[in-house]
Structure 1
Amino acid sequence: MKKGLLYAILASILWAIVNPFIKQGLSYDFTPMNFAGIRFISVGIILFAYTWHKGMWREIKQHSKLFLNLICINMFMGYTAFYFGVDFVSGAISSIIMGMTPLINVLLAHLLASNDKLNAHKIISLIVSLVGLLLIVGMGSDGEPLDWKGITGIVLLLFSIIFQGYSAISVSEDKGKVNPIFLNAVQMFFGGLLIYLVGLGTEGYHSFIGKPAGFYISLGILVFISVFAFSFWFIALQSKGAKVSDINMCRLINPILGAMLSWTMLAGEYPTFSTVAGMLVIVSSLVIYFKGPEIAKHIHKNK
């Protein structure tokens, strides 16, 4: 379990720095699905070079349900919603919304996982997190109320969390059946290819040749993150004794670090009262999740 938490923390730190670089890459006259497709295909090629082995096509066929789940739901549906969501809202708000991943996944785990049920302090933490979300939805990065595009972006990010949470439970339920790095290679390459092909049909072709250096730096950093983050995440989910809800709580790192990086790196983004307050409320809901039993025990003891 400790090994699982360590890998989950490493993955969460890497994911926390993703959103500003996606915003930066898209700013070079590029579209979300084209950009995501190129990123994930590149990651898949790198990981295939590392995990290529005899009988791997037989292995993919043997676990076709798991792989199709990851390619279609986690990668295609999850990341299509994620990239458009990030494009529609500020980097800080997208980071904070994605910070709700643990709590939404706690609810999904209760509904879908066989050994991961809700209790009183988990329910309280979910309610508190919704208050934080309402604070963020009310205002944009400039302190003004969000328009329809911003609200659509938040909804897409929430759908992304649900799609990826469902896939995470599938990986956790299939502990030890597939090498986690090979699992990442297959979902990245084929999921990225699917995203890119659909992007060509819906967004048209956008050349990635001859772009400014900043574009390639952003793309390179995102490829590096994907090579390691999902591999670490799958190792965490498949660790002995690991529960999806507990592993997901490590992602409390995302809203804080991601928002701070956005405010530092992206022009025109700065902290406002509503976004900071929403972030603090969401983080406090995670503290309730982790420390709820201890707090309840302490209150009962002092009565």
Structure 2
Amino acid sequence: MNYTSCMAILACLLWSSAFAGIKIGLLYTTLLHFAGVRFMLAGLLVLPFCGNIFSTLAQIRAHLGTVLIIAFFQTTFLYSLFYLGLDLLPGAVAAIVIGTQPLVVAGVAHFFAPAERMTTRKAVSLLFGGAGVLAIAANRGEMAIEGPLALLGIGLLLLSNFSGAASNLLVARETMDINPLVLNSAQLIIGGGFLFLLSKIIEDRSLVNYEAPYFVSLAWLSFLSAAALSIWFQLLKRDGVRVSDLNIWKFLIPLAGACLSWLLVEGESPTPGVLAGMCSIVVALLVLNINGRFWRTFKKKHDSHEL
């Protein structure tokens, strides 16, 4: 297993723990306020690792337009849609829609990035991964979709997936002259700041209630956002890394989330459906990482058989 795969797994394991922290934090505060504070703190956590402060500011100033666009798509727009959509849907339905992100990224990349065309191997990997997400979610919660608000929630989460796809492509293609840590720190602080200001305008501040669990969840979510996104931005800028292939690793998030539930939530235990979904995701990742020579040989034999 190479460096890119190992670091992608680490980032996805960090992200898989976010849902528990979000549920806890939202017991004490409002959606956008919580997101805004979380991401501003995450950006500040990354800042000391960016190097010389004057060089950092110079890079941000030189690429301010790109930083603002990525801050919008990766943080402000994505997470305002994410949190609002999450609040309108049963957990299992939300998990399925969120789990379509690798499919959305692959589709967007196919049409907007010539080097990221859909391949047979990628399509097979996405098929198994999507089936795995569906199986895990379907066996872990209420699947009913009722009323226009639920449909709105699905639409918001799908839009957040498209926003994430756009930001991933932008980071990979348009930011070659800026340190990925500088880019991540700046976009988190700016994007989180916009979310915080938006919360001041549209949310009821009387609902905020600061207690110890709020600060614990905020600290953990800020750390994982800082660490996971910094890893992800650096991977997106590595030579030879394809955005759509990298995002297939995100199928690990529901798998790891299910394992965490078994460990931390009383009454949670493996079911045949969840285990089948996990196996499907493992197959997806194996297909993605099959040796290229082996896959080309297999495909050539399959094509000759069809002829």
Is 1:42 paired with 2:41? Answer: yes
Equivalent pair of 2:59/2:182 in contact (CA under 8 Å)? no
Q: CA RMSD in A?
A: 3.4
Equivalent pair of 1:37/1:192 in contact (CA under 8 Å)? yes
Equivalent residue, structure 1, for 2:254: 255
- Using the aligned pairs only, state the percent identity: 30
Equivalent residue, structure 2, for 1:119: 119
Equivalent residue, structure 1, for 2:101: 101
Matches within 5 A, 1:109-258: 109-126=109-126, 141-148=140-147, 149-174=149-174, 176-206=176-206, 211-258=210-257
Equivalent pair of 1:47/1:185 in contact (CA under 8 Å)? yes
Distance 1:197 1:132 in 2: 38
Note the residue ranges of structure 1 that are not aligned, 5 or more in a row: none
Kindly provide the amino acid, as one letter, of the partner of residue 7 in structure 1. M
Query: Which region of structure 1 is more displaced relative to structure 2, 49-58 or 194-203?
Result: 49-58
Distance 1:211 1:296 in 2: 57
Superposed displacement of residue 5, structure 1: 2.8
Residue 54 of structure 1 aligns to a residue in which SS?
helix
Kindly provide the amino acid, as one letter, of the partner of residue 2 in structure 2. K
Equivalent pair of 1:98/1:255 in contact (CA under 8 Å)? no
Distance 1:31 1:279 in 2: 33
Distance 2:272 2:142 in 1: 8
Distance 1:84 1:279 in 2: 28
TM-score, length basis structure 1? 0.82
Kindly provide the amino acid, as one letter, of the partner of residue 45 in structure 1. L
Residue 54 of structure 2 aligns to a residue in which SS?
coil
Distance 1:100 1:280 in 2: 17
Residue 27 of structure 1 aligns to a residue in which SS?
coil
Distance 1:269 1:165, change over 3 A: farther
Distance 1:94 1:142, change over 3 A: closer
Distance 2:134 2:291 in 1: 23
Equivalent pair of 2:71/2:188 in contact (CA under 8 Å)? yes
Equivalent pair of 1:86/1:157 in contact (CA under 8 Å)? yes
Distance 1:142 1:94 in 2: 10
Equivalent pair of 1:141/1:270 in contact (CA under 8 Å)? no
Equivalent residue, structure 1, for 2:74: 74
TM-score, length basis structure 2? 0.81
Kindly provide the amino acid, as one letter, of the partner of residue 220 in structure 1. A
Offset from partner CA, 1:65-112 (integer Å, 9 cap, x none)? 321221111111111111223333355554454333223212222112
Distance 1:95 1:143, change over 3 A: closer
Query: Which region of structure 1 is more displaced relative to structure 2, 258-267 or 248-257?
Result: 258-267
Matches within 5 A, 1:288-303: 288-291=287-290, 294=294, 297-298=297-298, 300=301
Superposed displacement of residue 45, structure 1: 2.4
Superposed displacement of residue 286, structure 1: 5.1
Equivalent pair of 1:14/1:229 in contact (CA under 8 Å)? yes
Superposed displacement of residue 264, structure 1: 5.5
Equivalent pair of 1:142/1:272 in contact (CA under 8 Å)? no
Equivalent residue, structure 1, for 2:61: 61
Superposed displacement of residue 145, structure 1: 1.9
Is 1:33 paired with 2:1? Answer: no
Offset from partner CA, 1:201-256 (integer Å, 9 cap, x none)? 11132575x63322211111101101211111111111122111222222221011
Superposed displacement of residue 275, structure 1: 6.9
Distance 1:154 1:280, change over 3 A: farther
Superposed displacement of residue 56, structure 1: 3.5
Residue 108 of structure 2 aligns to a residue in which SS?
helix
Distance 1:3 1:178, change over 3 A: farther
Equivalent pair of 1:3/1:236 in contact (CA under 8 Å)? no
